[in-house]
């Protein structure tokens, strides 16, 4: 099966089986055309198809006559934070974050470093589908430019933003798993600059991903062992492009990815660094909502995906946003999810409060979560989803329905969300409730409705 | 529909106009077809200085990696340097991104086999079939690596000096016009190693051609002036990809590109007698030189690959094309302006004669290369009709139509690289030349519908 998603968020697929170089050339042409002659940047993560897709994107963008600045390998939040300074009209990111190494994707950024909004993404897609691209004459093609300053500048930005001195005083021991990805170039440097004793793992860009680059507990066993062996105060795990962050506490316990954003809310609102409102997506655990409630702050939910969360955060002036997949946004810093700045954010709180990570986790309310993935051929996914929606019908007074991204039912004591995965051909059924029994009951309800 | 004149798919590869028919996706697809044709292994990629070169190179890299080639990028290099690198690096093949003598708005892909020679028409048609079938090999999520190799120019210089073992004395002053093409990265280095002082003109490899790249006398005014001003012993002019060379005499006269091969042939045969191979449009001077050494001359259709294949078949010691392309099989089976420079300097040093004397020792034919604009679809009909009209004469139809007479000849053929007809007329004196020219131009006019 060819796995490929073309959407307003760009293209994502398995390289050579769905995602082709021809497509990458055309998408770059479409984007350069969309920018109407404005200069653009190209950055990428470290996966093996990167050099090939980079060449494809450079060829397409240069052919349109735009100035093109190659930023090389760098974390995506680094690119997002530096794009306004570079004064470029946009950027193409060749990276697939948490997806396995055989995947890759082209994502598109606007001049302020944010992902294209859904509306802008649709405009880009229209140009791509239409296939009439700008084409420079021989004397209109610009030589490729390079800029290597982004990582240094991003490092300085984070150091200025956090209370670096307070962190340095504590001389933390920090274990970090860079998954041989782009964070290798920045994460250990930041931690050292924050006075930490750094024990780094998988910090070699020339090697392939040692495990799936999604920092879920099942991919963090190496890091857990390292935290214990080194007696570290905390362990951090990055995805391939520096957006998602996984956490291991000081006892060596790997936290579910949902904890990253929930803890960020707790820290931000307790420490007073964030005033609210807070934005997250429809699938994110209620832990964050409960923390927001305690502090009298509203939590808004959007469709799944960086573009939606960041756009809403900008609209309502949120100073903290995130997704349950381990992404935290600090809109005051830049519009992207930043797993590297998030480390400084956590360390700052540990330094100021003297609390341990496990103590922080204890402060969060507990929820039970049941997730099932139902594999269907791509052409049946949406029919199944449709059927579920019809079955649910009018949910009545007991629940509120949201159908902006699949179907989500919200009950006083839990919620149920059924949606199509954005990367795999599966229907994802997620239920969360205060008790495990209730979560299972909600989940069963959905599975039965879909099976009929 | 785009005018078909801006896209040319032929024996010589594909040529197209940047911003018009030269789309990066087209380049990518052609490279995928070539990678599929070659099978897995190493491919050498290089380019001339054209402003579109970097863009086209990235499109090529994307396609080659996607179809499983390990790519070694030799960067901006003369075409003969790229051809030699294919052999030196033991690659399966190579691609040169260059439209040689075409103007700056063109670019092209030339496909090189593992022996350093271009694809012949049969092989090119196989490649074209693969391109149209679009069933390309796919490397998947882990493509082979992209590498760079900066040593190709140095390797080429070393090989020329080793194989031709030229003298480096007496010192000579040489004015050199590289047309801001790929020759600029090598010509000054070669001249220095040959014990010459180089006076440089258009030696910035930036792809902004200050003159039309074809090194014919009409384009060499500034070089002629420079030779006179600087008191140089001679001048050299290259085309954009540095496979062709033209010479300016110490008197500041552009002697004509046909003399390049004639002089090199004289040197080569004086060192080692043997068969000579030239194309059908090359001046009869070659026969005169070969006759002095009692050596046979073989004629091939136009195009480097036809000459090199014939050279290999007959075991030639020297060969080339009258347009300034010299092929020395000891260095490489490729037209090579650096080989030509080395041999001409060696001829001057070994004979002690200046260029003007070397020229006057050759028979003075009158030759002109004319361009006719005929609709591409009418070309074969016209050539057929003309062959019919002159069927009693000595006719060669291996490449267009050549009619040979005692005191001259004409050759009419469609260009491989441009949408034009070329008419070459050569005769032993001006009067005969004028008569031929009028006769055949009239015949063509009459037969053109």
What is the reported pLDDT for A423? 73
Q: How far is B14 from chain A, CA to nearest CA, in Å?
A: 17
Residue A260 has pLDDT above 90, yes or no: yes
Contacts of B51 in chain A (CB under 8 A): 138-139, 141, 143
Residue A183 has pLDDT above 90, yes or no: yes
Size of the A and B interface in Cβ pairs below 8 Å: 123
Residue B21 has pLDDT above 90, yes or no: no
Ordered alpha helix ranges (H), A162-305: 164-170, 187-193, 221-230, 258-271, 286-294
Provide mean pLDDT across the span A169-187: 98
Which positions of B are catalytic? 100
Alpha carbons B78 and B337: distance in angstroms, whole number: 9
For A71-84, write each residue's pLDDT tens digit: 999 999 999 999 99
Contact B278, B321 (CB under 8 A): yes
Q: How far is CA A247 from CA A214, A227, A233, A321, in A?
A: 12, 11, 11, 18
Contact B412, B380 (CB under 8 A): no
A317 CB neighbour count, 10 Å cutoff: 11
Q: Which of A328, A343, A336, A252 is nearest to A82 (CA)?
A: A336
The ipTM assigned to this model is 0.89
> Is A59 close to B140, i.e. CB distance below 8 A?
no
> Is A55 close to B62, i.e. CB distance below 8 A?
yes
Alpha carbons B75 and B54: distance in angstroms, whole number: 9
Closest CB from B140, B142, B208 relative to A17: B140
Residue B236, both tokens: 């050299």
Q: How far is B259 from chain A, CA to nearest CA, in Å?
A: 33
Contacts of B28 in chain A (CB under 8 A): 21-22, 25, 56, 59
Q: How far is CA B256 from CA A188, A376, B260, B421, in A?
A: 66, 73, 8, 21
B402 CB neighbour count, 10 Å cutoff: 20
Place of tokens 């003969």: B80
B388 CB neighbour count, 10 Å cutoff: 9
For B395-416, write each residue's pLDDT tens digit: 999 999 999 999 999 999 988 7
Contacts of A139 in chain B (CB under 8 A): 51, 104-105, 208
What is the reported pLDDT for B317? 98
Residue B409, both tokens: 């000849």
Contact A4, A378 (CB under 8 A): no
Residue A393 has pLDDT above 90, yes or no: no
* Mean pLDDT rounded to a whole number for chain A: 94
Closest CB from B24, B51, B145 relative to A60: B24
Contacts of A26 in chain B (CB under 8 A): 25
Alpha carbons A417 and A372: distance in angstroms, whole number: 11
Closest CB from B50, B62, B107 relative to A56: B62
Provide mean pLDDT across the span B184-200: 98
Q: How far is CA B111 from CA A6, A12, B233, B335, in A?
A: 34, 33, 37, 15
Q: Which of B260, B320, B263, B324 is nearest to B101 (CA)?
A: B324
Residue A385 has pLDDT above 80, yes or no: yes
B206: nearest CA partner in chain A: A143
Q: Dihedral sign, CA of A371, A374, A379, A385?
A: negative
- Three-state SS string over chain B comes to CCCHHHEEEECCEEEEEECCCECHHHHHHHHHHHHHHHCCEEEEEEECCCCCHHHHHHHHHHHHHHCCEEEEEEEECCHHHHHHHHHHCCCCEEEEECCCCCCCCEEEEEEEECCCCECCHHHHHHHHHHHHHCCCCCCCCCCCCEEECCCHHHHHHHHHHHHHCCCCCCCEEEEEECCCCHHHHCHHHHHHHCCEEEEEECCCCCCCCCCCCCCCHHHCHHHHHHHHHHCCCEEEEECCCCCEEEEECCCCCECCCHHHHHHHHHHHHHHCCCCEEEECCCCCHHHHHHHHCCCCEEEECCCHHHHHHHHHHHCCCEEEECCCEEECCCCCCCCCHHHHHHHHHHHHHHHCCCHHHHHHCCCCCEEEEEEECCCHHHHHHHHHHHHHHCCCCEEECCCCEEEEECCEEEEEEECCCCCCEEEEEEECCHHHHHHHHHHHHHHHHHHCC
Q: How far is A104 from chain B, CA to nearest CA, in Å?
A: 8
Q: How far is A129 from chain B, CA to nearest CA, in Å?
A: 15
pLDDT confidence bin for B105, thresholds 50/70/90: very high
> Is B54 close to A143, i.e. CB distance below 8 A?
yes
Residue B336 has pLDDT above 50, yes or no: yes
For A82-124, write each residue's pLDDT tens digit: 999 999 999 999 999 899 999 999 999 999 999 999 889 999 9
Contacts of A136 in chain B (CB under 8 A): 18-19
In this prediction the pTM is: 0.92
Report the range of poorest mean pLDDT among B57-66, B170-179, B391-400: B391-400
Question: Which chain A residues touch B if contact means CB-CB below 8 Å?
Answer: 14-17, 20-22, 24-26, 29, 47-49, 51-53, 55-56, 58-60, 62-63, 65, 101-104, 135-141, 143-144
pLDDT confidence bin for B1, thresholds 50/70/90: very low
For A34-69, write each residue's pLDDT tens digit: 999 999 999 999 999 999 999 999 999 999 999 999
For A209-246, write each residue's pLDDT tens digit: 999 999 999 999 999 999 999 999 999 999 999 999 99
């Amino acid at each position: 099966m060819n796995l490929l998603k073309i959407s307003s968020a760009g293209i994502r697929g398995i390289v050579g089986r769905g995602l082709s170089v021809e497509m990458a050339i055309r998408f770059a042409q479409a984007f350069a055309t969309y920018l109407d002659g404005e200069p653009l940047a190209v950055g990428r993560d470290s996966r093996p198809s990167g050099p090939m897709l980079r060449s494809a994107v450079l060829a397409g963008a240069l052919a349109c006559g735009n100035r093109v600045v190659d930023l090389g390998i760098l974390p995506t939040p680094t690119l997002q934070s530096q794009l306004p300074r570079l004064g470029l009209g946009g950027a193409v990111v060749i990276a697939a974050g948490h997806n396995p190494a055989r995947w890759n994707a082209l994502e598109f950024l606007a001049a302020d470093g944010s992902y294209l909004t859904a509306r802008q993404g649709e405009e880009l897609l229209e140009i791509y589908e239409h296939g009439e691209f700008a084409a420079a004459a021989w004397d209109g093609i610009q030589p490729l430019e390079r800029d290597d300053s982004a990582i240094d500048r991003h490092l300085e930005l984070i150091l200025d933003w956090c209370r670096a001195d307070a962190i340095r005083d504590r001389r933390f021991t920090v274990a970090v798993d860079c998954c041989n990805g782009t964070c290798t170039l920045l994460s250990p440097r930041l931690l050292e600059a924050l006075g930490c004793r750094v024990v780094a793992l998988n910090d070699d860009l020339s090697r392939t991903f040692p495990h799936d680059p999604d920092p879920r507990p099942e991919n963090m066993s190496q890091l857990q062992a390292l935290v214990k062996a080194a007696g570290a105060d905390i362990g951090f795990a990055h995805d391939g492009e520096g957006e998602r962050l996984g956490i291991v506490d000081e006892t060596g316990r790997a936290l579910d990815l949902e904890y990253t954003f929930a803890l960020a809310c707790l820290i931000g609102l307790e420490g007073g660094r964030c005033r609210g409102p807070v934005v997250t997506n429809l699938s994110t655990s209620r832990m964050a909502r409960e923390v927001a409630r305690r502090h009298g702050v509203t939590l808004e939910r959007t469709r799944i995906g960086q573009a939606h969360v960041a756009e809403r955060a900008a609209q309502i002036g949120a100073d903290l946003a995130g997704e349950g997949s381990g992404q935290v946004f600090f809109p005051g810093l830049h519009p992207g999810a930043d797993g590297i700045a998030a480390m400084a954010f956590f360390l700052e709180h540990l330094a100021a409060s003297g609390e341990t990570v496990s103590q922080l986790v204890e402060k969060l309310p507990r929820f039970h979560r049941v997730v099932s993935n139902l594999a269907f051929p791509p052409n049946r996914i949406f029919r199944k989803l449709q059927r579920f929606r019809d079955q649910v019908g009018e949910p009545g007074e007991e629940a509120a329905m949201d159908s902006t991204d699949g179907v989500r039912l919200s009950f006083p004591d839990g919620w149920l969300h059924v949606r199509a995965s954005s990367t795999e051909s599966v229907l994802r059924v997620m239920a969360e409730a205060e008790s495990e029994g209730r979560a299972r009951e909600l989940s069963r309800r959905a599975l039965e409705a879909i099976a009929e | 529909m785009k005018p078909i004149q801006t896209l040319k798919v032929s024996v010589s590869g594909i040529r197209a106009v940047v911003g018009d028919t030269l789309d990066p996706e087209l380049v990518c697809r052609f490279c995928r077809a070539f990678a599929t044709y070659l099978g897995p292994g190493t491919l050498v990629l290089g380019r001339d200085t054209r402003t579109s070169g970097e863009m086209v190179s990235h499109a090529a890299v994307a396609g080659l990696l996607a179809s499983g080639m390990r790519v070694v990028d030799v960067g901006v290099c003369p075409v003969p340097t790229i051809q030699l690198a294919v052999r030196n690096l033991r690659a399966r093949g190579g691609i040169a991104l260059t439209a040689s003598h075409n103007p700056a708005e063109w670019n092209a892909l030339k496909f090189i086999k593992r022996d350093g020679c271009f694809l012949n028409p049969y092989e090119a048609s196989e490649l074209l079939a693969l391109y149209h079938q679009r069933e390309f090999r796919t490397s998947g999520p882990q493509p082979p690596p992209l590498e760079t190799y900066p040593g190709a120019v140095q390797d080429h210089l070393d090989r020329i000096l080793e194989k031709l073992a030229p003298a480096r004395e007496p010192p000579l002053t040489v004015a050199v016009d590289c047309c801001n093409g790929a020759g600029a990265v090598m010509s000054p280095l070669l001249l220095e190693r040959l014990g010459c002082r180089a006076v440089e003109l258009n030696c910035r490899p930036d792809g902004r051609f200050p003159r039309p790249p074809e090194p014919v006398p009409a384009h060499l005014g500034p070089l002629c002036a420079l030779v006179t001003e600087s008191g140089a012993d001679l001048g050299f002019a290259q085309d954009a990809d540095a496979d062709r060379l033209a010479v300016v005499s110490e008197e500041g006269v552009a002697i004509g590109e046909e003399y390049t091969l004639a002089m090199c042939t004289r040197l080569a045969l004086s060192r080692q007698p043997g068969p000579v191979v030239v194309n059908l449009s090359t001046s009869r001077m070659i026969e005169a030189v070969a006759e002095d050494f009692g050596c046979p001359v073989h004629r091939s259709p136009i195009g480097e690959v036809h000459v090199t294949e014939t050279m290999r078949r007959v075991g030639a010691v020297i060969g080339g094309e009258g347009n300034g392309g010299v092929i020395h099989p000891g260095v490489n089976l490729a037209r090579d302006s650096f080989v030509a420079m080395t041999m001409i300097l060696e001829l001057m040093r070994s004979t002690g004669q200046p260029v003007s004397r070397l020229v006057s020792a050759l028979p003075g034919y009158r030759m002109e290369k004319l361009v006719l604009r005929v609709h591409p679809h009418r070309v074969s009909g016209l050539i057929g009709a003309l062959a019919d009209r002159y069927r009693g004469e000595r006719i060669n139809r291996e490449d267009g139509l050549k009619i040979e007479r005692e005191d001259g000849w004409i050759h009419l053929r469609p260009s491989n690289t441009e949408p034009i007809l070329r008419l070459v007329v050569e005769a032993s004196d001006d009067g005969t030349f004028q008569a031929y020219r009028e006769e055949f131009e009239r015949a063509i006019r009459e037969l053109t519908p």
